Copies of this chain bind each other. A is one copy, B any other.
Amino acid sequence: MRTFRLVIACPDRVGIVAKVSNFLASHNGWITEASHHSDNLSGWFFMRHEIRADSLPFGIEAFREAFAPIAEEFSMDWRITDTEQKKRVVLMASRESHCLADLLHRWHSDELDCEIACVISNHDDLRSMVEWHGIPYYHVPVNPQNKEPAFAEVSRLVKQHEAEVVVLARYMQILPPELCSEYAHKVINIHHSFLPSFVGAKPYHQASMRGVKLIGATCHYVTEELDAGPIIEQDVVRVSHSDSIEDMVRFGRDVEKMVLARGLRYHLEDRVLVHGNKTVVF
């Protein structure tokens, strides 16, 4: 069923919900899902509606025009999206295949509502798996000497494929700050620890050294500061003294792919609103 998704963040005050729901009702909009959140600490209000497109008398452009005065009145950060316009996603991977294979399978079986424009990797290992899915594969090697031209090429490919979202599916390279800020809140990473624990390299080794009893994974938006961006989703799995680092890596793969798939799904469904360094996930 085709829906429009109206996503709003604005300073909290009386009457926002009434105004918005009046607007929708006056156009006969059939709301299939509605979520609200008032954040007491920041004084902001967040709202997301799914509305059946066929219940409205106009398309998305006319909606935008009609709604603009309300958005202005309440100083809203807002967007409306159409489920028929699938988001274009670029996936980036390195050698480890588990997150990439998981996302490709979900997309292939119509579980992920997006178009996968291409896969970019700094290695050539996963080409055959990607191409079996009918998706273009670009091998852009990265080494300490070629970082600038390599990421210029990455940036060019992302633009050429008109990506709205970039997913680092265990890409293992740090994106340059310009890319991070150009695609703010549009680059999704999976970090293989329960952040803020074990930032940086080899988190499972760090976890083993500290002797933790649970390990985890964190899906977050990439910012210039490493592993410090707004968190979208996290999960953990129990480990014990009997689990080696290799066992942790193996358990971790399952958590990583689940957490990344959930986080990406929330993003694709316009469920994630970023405010400061935190997210509201409806």
Contact = CB atoms under 8 A, between A and B. Distances in A.
A242 B37 contact: yes
A34 B33 contact: no
A68 interface: no
A210 B231 contact: yes
A241 B210 contact: no
A73 to B, nearest CB: 13
Interface string A146-157: 000000000000
A25 B33 contact: no
Given A33-B38, A214-B235, A279-B211, A17 B21 contact: yes
A250 B111 contact: yes
A198 to B, nearest CB: 8
Contacts of A226: none
Number of identical monomers bound together in the oligomeric complex: 4
Interface in A14-28: 14-15, 17-19, 21-22, 24-26, 28
Interface of A is mostly: mixed
Contacts of A208: 41
A10 interface: no
Contact of A38 (B31, B235, B250): B31
A266 to B, nearest CB: 11
A30 B28 CA distance: 25
A244 B42 CA distance: 12
- List 7 A-B pairs, minimum CB-CB distance, nearest first: A18-B25, A211-B278, A18-B21, A241-B280, A213-B234, A17-B21, A15-B25
